[in-house]
Amino acid sequence: MEPSEQSAKAVRIVEARIDDDSGLIATGHAAPRLSWKLAADVDGVLQTGYEIEVAADPAFTCDVVRSGLVEETRPYLAPWPAPSLNSREVRWWRVRARTSQGWTDWCEERRVEATLLSRDDWTARPISPLSNVGRREAGPVPLVRRHFHLDSAPTQARLYVTALGLHDVQINGRSIGPDLFDPGWTVYSKRLLFAAYDVTALLQPGANVISAAVGDGWFRGDLTEFLFRNIYGDTTALLAQLEIELANGSRVRVDTDEDWRGGYGGLRAAEIYHGSSLDLTQEPQGWRMPGFDDSGWEAVAALDLPPGLEARDMPGVRVVASWPLQLPEQDEGFGAVIRLDTGQNLSGHLAIRARGPRGGTITVRHAELLDDAGALYVAPLRHARAADDYVLDGLGVIELRPCFTWHGFRHAEITTSTGVVIESVTVEAVASDLRPTGRFACSDPALNRLFDNVVWSQRSNFLSIPTDCPQRDERLGWSGDIQVFTPTACLNADSRTFLRSWLADLALEQREDGAVPVAAPNLLGRDARAWGVGGWGDATAVMPWDLYCAYGDVGAVARQYPSMTAWIDWCAERLNPEGVWSGDFQLGDWLDPDAPVDKPHLSKTDSGLAATAYLAHSAGRVADAAALLGRDLDAVRYRDLQTRTRVAAWGRWSDEAQTTPTGCALALAFGLTPEDQRMAVGQRLADLVAANGWRIGTGFLGTPLILSALQAAGQVDTAYRLLLNRDCPGWLYTVDQGATTMWERWDAIRPDGSLNIGELSTGSAMVSFNHYAYGAVAAWLYSAVAGLSLDLSQPQDSQILIAPEPGGGLAHAYAELDTPYGLVSVHWREVGDGWTCDVEIPAGAQARYTPFSRSNHGRDDRHLHLGSGRHCLKIKRPV
């Protein structure tokens, strides 16, 4: 029997899934792409092809569509082989793989259900209490409810739901799911996400009720330091369509329409920046349950169906971690002030169990740090109140959580009135629930803490969109921050659908002339400084390629391609006769540690150099994208632009670039330096770092590049000295100061431990202790310290690179990465006169191992190909 006809019992299909990460019951992808992994009991396994079947039943007997043998080595994002799904349609699919060991068995069948795929599927309309229509000032949170009757037991029920604002929906007093802050933040005027929930178990024969609170959220609440309101509208509303199938064969539909009732309750205020205020004495008892008399509630208005309804395919915001806090003793006869240290800076809230008399009060305030006097350090919050208030109803022990808000904090202060007792407090961290994919550890506890800090800052700021900070009156999707951090983000967690969603909004906010805003969604209006900034606008050109390298997602590149080319074409028009981009306002190497405190854009490195270097880099990425998509003429045009811009930049700034670390790093990383000068520029960069005492001298654009630039120039020892420096500015300096997340500014805490309040106050207190941009360093921890990197744009035998660079006195390092093929791990240890390196490669994948190089003359170009399985490599120390 030929190997292609044999059954590879030693190889199995595992983790078969569609390209929808929402966790919801139904997908908005009419033709979902399919992925799987191979598990094997033997080594050296490769996939050579696959076959997919799609059917109308799990036994694969009805309406079966077969792909036939598809010659393909990649087990991820395979095209849907059947006709596109219709709205609400259910299909079953399975896959088997042809491997070097023969055919696998079919995987276990997988169910896929389509959500509402057409605007015509919506019969519901957004509703709002009449008194909430056109309300432009902050006020109590509107409530809506509808009771209905079911003649028999439900057999299937789907709730399709979104809001203009944020919604908290329950059926018969039970939540529809764990997701918070739905529908998330998008460009609401053009794109509004909705979710589909299986709510069958929440319904019952007889009386039922569906109810919701609708918060202002990003739609109508305060946003930015200017506290803009009503940016997207002045009427919050719920859009819900409940479709039920009953055991008696009948169908029931409950839409949001004029038959609902509206009112208000105990939630007197809820703002993202300011917190929530819940007065339980004003809460209508039982309003979430059947039988509640809502005849005294007001009528609702039905609004037009909003444009751009799109099913959410990324994970929702959920509680992703929680832990209890130890409480001090309390005297029930008196009020108390309870100060708590959670031990970790985070985004989230406190869940409090409390009891007390009717009218008793609890106030919870939050801050990242304590000031020199031991009080909450709230100055960095600026206008954000960041406090939650509760008034008790005296009906016994109750569990309290804030609604429609989150806080960036490590420290909290709970103030209670007389007679109130706090029985327990639990920290609940909230974030978009992305699946962790990467891990790093080494022999240096400080580096391990640094890595944890990066992970926590990513978790804290990946909340619906990638924000800059989670605590102050900002929390915006700054494009420059995520542009530099995307490679690290994709190592730490499965960020594919999360970042694709944000890129969609970035493209929607792009001007017709191609200029890209510095943040998306864009709240900065027509201010010229908010558009067309080098390094920031380049997010639309660079990030799709990063997603392709991390996940092999050609679709991400194809969808963003019009935005990518429009941006590059706009930038090309900004070039002066010398062929460089100079003279426009730029954010430059933002927060260069030597920049004036109140003018963080005035870095040592010429902002024109930074903008021009990024144009060259982005033009190259667009040329790569064009080639990938088969747009050959575009590929030639943009490659030529890259080459011309590189030459022009070096001709204009070759001397000046070598006076700053960022200038050298940009020149080396983006290929501005002629090949015969690269080693000299690398030596110059090493000299600059040494002259600065191996302290960091770079800002947002230079810092993510500098270690790799040093490594590429053979300056590995200098890279380690910079990484391990413990003086200010430095990554480990923040660790020594007790940081549990990444900082926005290196010197926010002085070496003596005091807060840098006076000087930073001139920068509008722009100091965050939870900012992921400088956490881009973690990519180097993976790729160089541990020696693990992934690039799916490369040929299959070179997509996984194992290339550790031991140094810095480290005795061992470990990294693992859950790739589209499966889990890859690397663990090297110093042993005697060399190292051992244990490597594990998943079935279906190959890796390229490159030997250690301890000289300053670049990496040894010899390499070894590794197949799937476990490998133990022994390397002698070079002389």
- State the DSSP code for 531: B
**Phi, psi (degrees; rounded to nearest 5) at 454:** -65, -45
Candidates 474, 509, 805, 816; catalytic one: 474
Rounded CA separation 432/315 (Å): 6
Our CA dihedral for 498, 503, 509, 511, rounded to 10 degrees, sits at: 180
**Tokens standing for 281?**
């004495």
CA atoms within 13 A on the CB side of 324: 6
Q: Which of 197, 202, 210 is nearest to 290 (CA)?
A: 210
Q: Which 3 state secondary structure label does DSSP give 222?
A: coil
Chain centroid to CA 321: 16
Candidates 53, 428, 744, 816; catalytic one: 744
- Annotated catalytic residue 578: no
Give one DSSP letter per residue of 699-745, joined into a string. -TTTHHHHHHHHHHTT-HHHHHHHHH--SSSSHHHHHHTT-SS--SS
Residues near 513 by Cβ (< 8 Å), separated by ≥ 6? 570
Please compute Rg for the chain using Cα positions: 28
Residues near 59 by Cβ (< 8 Å), separated by ≥ 6? none
- Annotated catalytic residue 474: yes
**Tokens standing for 36?**
């799987």
Residue 435 contacts residue 375 (beta carbons within 8 Å): no
Q: Which of 276, 272, 221, 274 is nearest to 390 (CA)?
A: 276
Count of residues making up the chain: 879
Q: Which of 563, 640, 574, 577 is nearest to 607 (CA)?
A: 574
Rounded CA separation 719/708 (Å): 8
Distances, alpha carbon 676 to alpha carbons 17, 601, 672, 682, 718, in Å: 48, 32, 12, 11, 21
Q: Which of 441, 104, 387 is nearest to 272 (CA)?
A: 387
**Tokens standing for 549?**
């390298």
**Phi, psi (degrees; rounded to nearest 5) at 409:** -160, 160
Residue 747 contacts residue 457 (beta carbons within 8 Å): no
**Tokens standing for 464?**
């619906």
Q: Which of 740, 18, 611 is nearest to 346 (CA)?
A: 740
Residue 311 contacts residue 183 (beta carbons within 8 Å): no
Q: Which 3 state secondary structure label does DSSP give 638?
A: helix
| Amino acid identity for residue 873 in this structure | L
**Tokens standing for 247?**
């055991």
Our CA dihedral for 75, 77, 82, 88, rounded to 10 degrees, sits at: 130
Our CA dihedral for 86, 87, 89, 93, rounded to 10 degrees, sits at: 70
Residues near 718 by Cβ (< 8 Å), separated by ≥ 6? 685, 686, 689, 690, 694, 710
Rounded CA separation 442/786 (Å): 8
Q: Which residues pair with 167 in a beta bridge?
A: 214
Q: Which 3 state secondary structure label does DSSP give 343?
A: strand
| Amino acid identity for residue 219 in this structure | F
Q: Which 3 state secondary structure label does DSSP give 120?
A: helix
Residues near 605 by Cβ (< 8 Å), separated by ≥ 6? 588, 589, 592, 657, 660, 662, 663, 666, 702
- Which helix (H) or strand (E) segment holds residue 128: the answer is strand 127-129
Q: Which residues are catalytic?
A: 474, 744
